[in-house]
């Protein structure tokens, strides 16, 4: 192993969203946090070096983006995802959720319906509602321990007039890496009903190696589908940089891209962040070996967690993720309501996983566990959780 993913690094008192809010959010600052999706691993060495060099400038003036940054992005998606992106199609946005919200505002009508597939990453609901649109919910089907899209449900929503869909690909939570055929079937429906797709592919690089899956960018399926797709991407989830608050969209449709860029300019969200480009370029140019090793390590954590839960708490049933570092666990067998699960986690076990109902009503009785952390943290958290659950 070249990188030490086993190393525990004390993140408390670093203004960490994950580690420094235990008192405020869970009533105990010592709760072990395996919730919000960042990693307890150091970023790739090349990223740290690039940031150190930039910090050493000692002046943090307004910055520009250079061609090399856009070329690094395009090269990454060509090499990693067989997707040819023209650098002109790329627009920087501070965060993926910003892009989701702008897309809802620009590409749906006030009061109109926007489709999501639940359970799903909770800001999907927020960006629809806060823009004055209605959530048109298509519940995912759980078949043989994995989520599938309900195409009949989608067609009903499209027939009912929904013209925008937020796709989460790979899907959070549940870890589905949608297959080409599944996406093509979705694409056919979108083309038939003239539905624009906002494809949040922030987890695209986090496909776990063991199952032989491959991420298929929705916009890579055909030029017709690319023409009606806004793809939201970032290096932040892949390389543990979310605090740098940087992301980008890829939009090949020139008029949609112009609309997006005008709004970004109007809100003055277009200026370059001083550090972000250096980190992203270094990550895409030099981070692949780190990423491959990190994914193998996380896959080991997932295997460990699934085996541990099967042995020590068989009432709970995790879904085996194909992608993401998040384990979605069906805890309905414990017979606890939302408050009961919180009490079990925060008070009794002293661990913080994400409570599932925030991902949609389908998530009630489920928990999401972030496994991008040293194995010893996974061991400690699961041991405490299972001990507390078995003592209830």
Ligand X SMILES: Cc1ncc(COP(=O)(O)O)c(C=O)c1O
CB 183 within 8 A of CB 216: yes
Q: Look at residue 386 and give its three-state secondary structure.
A: helix
Where does residue 144 rank: exposed (0-12), middle (13-18), buried (19+ CB within 10 A)? exposed
Q: Name the minimum Å distance from CB 370 to ligand X.
A: 9
Q: Look at residue 242 and give its three-state secondary structure.
A: helix
Q: Name the minimum Å distance from CB 96 to ligand X.
A: 4
When binding is defined by CB under 6 A, the residue of 46, 50, 51, 97 that contacts ligand X is 97
- Between 301 and 370, whose beta carbon lies closer to ligand X? 370
Listed ranges 234-242, 257-265, 304-312, 375-383: which one lies at the site for ligand X (CB under 6 A): 234-242
196 binds ligand X (CB under 6 A): no
277 binds ligand X (CB under 6 A): no
* CA atoms lying within 13 Å on the CB side of residue 144: 1
Q: What distance in Å separates the CA atoms of residue 140 and residue 305, rounded to the nearest whole number? A: 24
205 binds ligand X (CB under 6 A): no
Backbone dihedral region of 13: left (phi > 0), alpha (psi from -120 to 50 degrees) or beta? left
131 binds ligand X (CB under 6 A): no
Radius of gyration of the chain (CA): 21
- Between 123 and 300, whose beta carbon lies closer to ligand X? 123
The binding track of 333-372 with respect to ligand X, each residue x by CB under 6 A or -, is ----------------------------------------
- Any residues with CB less than 8 A from the CB of 4 and at least 6 apart, and which? none
The binding track of 32-71 with respect to ligand X, each residue x by CB under 6 A or -, is -----x----------------------------------
When binding is defined by CB under 6 A, the residue of 40, 113, 200, 278 that contacts ligand X is 200
Where does residue 291 rank: exposed (0-12), middle (13-18), buried (19+ CB within 10 A)? middle
When binding is defined by CB under 6 A, the residue of 117, 138, 172, 301 that contacts ligand X is 172
Q: What distance in Å separates the CA atoms of residue 68 and residue 271, rounded to the nearest whole number? A: 17
> Reduced to 3 DSSP states, what percent helix, strand and coil does the chain have, rounded to the nearest 5?
45, 15, 40
Q: How many residues bind ligand X (CB under 6 A)?
A: 13
Q: Name the minimum Å distance from CB 97 to ligand X.
A: 4
CB 326 within 8 A of CB 147: no
- Any residues with CB less than 8 A from the CB of 70 and at least 6 apart, and which? 87, 90
240 binds ligand X (CB under 6 A): no
CB 72 within 8 A of CB 280: yes
Q: Name the minimum Å distance from CB 202 to ligand X.
A: 4
Q: Name the minimum Å distance from CB 360 to ligand X.
A: 13
Q: Name the minimum Å distance from CB 36 to ligand X.
A: 7
234 binds ligand X (CB under 6 A): yes
Listed ranges 19-27, 79-87, 92-100, 283-291: which one lies at the site for ligand X (CB under 6 A): 92-100
121 binds ligand X (CB under 6 A): yes
Listed ranges 10-18, 83-91, 94-102, 373-381: which one lies at the site for ligand X (CB under 6 A): 94-102
Q: Give, in order, the Cα–Cα distances in Å from 270 to each of 65, 222, 237, 244.
A: 10, 29, 21, 15
247 binds ligand X (CB under 6 A): yes
Longest Cα pair distance anywhere in the chain, in angstroms? 60
Listed ranges 95-103, 219-227, 254-262, 377-385: which one lies at the site for ligand X (CB under 6 A): 95-103
Nearest position to ligand X, beta carbon:
95
Sheet holding 354-355, edge to edge: 317-318, 326-330, 366-370, 354-355
Q: Which residues bind ligand X (CB under 6 A)?
A: 37, 95-97, 121, 168, 172, 200, 202, 234, 236, 242, 247
């Amino acid at each position: 192993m070249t990188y030490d993913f086993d190393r525990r690094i004390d993140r408390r008192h670093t203004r960490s969203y994950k580690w420094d809010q235990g008192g405020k959010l869970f009533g105990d600052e010592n709760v072990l946090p395996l919730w919000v999706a960042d990693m307890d691993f150091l970023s790739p060495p090349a990223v740290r070096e690039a940031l150190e060099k930039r910090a050493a400038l000692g002046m943090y003036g307004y910055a520009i983006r250079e061609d090399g940054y856009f070329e690094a992005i395009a090269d990454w998606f060509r090499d990693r995802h067989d997707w040819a992106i023209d650098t002109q199609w790329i627009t920087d946005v501070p965060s993926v959720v910003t892009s989701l919200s702008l897309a809802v505002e620009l590409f749906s009508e006030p009061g109109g319906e926007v489709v999501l597939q639940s359970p799903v990453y909770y800001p999907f609901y927020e960006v629809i509602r806060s823009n004055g649109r209605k959530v048109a919910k298509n519940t995912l089907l759980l078949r043989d321990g994995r989520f599938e899209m309900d195409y009949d449900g989608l067609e009903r929503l499209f027939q009912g007039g929904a013209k925008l869909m937020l796709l989460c690909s790979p899907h959070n939570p549940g870890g589905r890496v949608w297959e080409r055929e599944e996406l093509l079937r979705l694409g056919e429906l979108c083309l038939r009903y003239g539905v624009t797709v906002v494809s949040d592919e922030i987890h695209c690089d986090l496909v776990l190696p063991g199952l032989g899956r491959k991420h298929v960018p929705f916009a890579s399926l055909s030029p017709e589908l690319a023409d009606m797709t806004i793809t939201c991407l970032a290096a932040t989830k892949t390389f543990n940089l979310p605090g740098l608050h940087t992301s980008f969209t890829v939009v090949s449709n020139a008029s949609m891209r112009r609309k997006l860029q005008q709004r970004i300019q109007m809100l003055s969200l277009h200026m370059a962040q001083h550090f972000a480009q250096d980190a992203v370029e270094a990550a895409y140019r030099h981070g692949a070996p780190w990423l491959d090793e990190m994914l193998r390590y996380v896959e080991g954590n997932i295997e460990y967690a699934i085996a541990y839960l099967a042995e020590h708490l068989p009432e709970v049933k995790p879904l085996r993720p194909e992608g993401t570092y998040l384990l979605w666990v069906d805890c309905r067998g414990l017979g606890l309501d939302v408050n009961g699960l919180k009490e079990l986690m925060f008070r009794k076990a002293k661990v913080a996983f994400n409570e599932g109902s925030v991902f949609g009503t389908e998530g009630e009785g489920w928990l999401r566990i972030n496994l991008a952390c040293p194995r010893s943290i996974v061991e400690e958290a699961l041991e405490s959780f299972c001990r507390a659950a078995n003592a209830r």
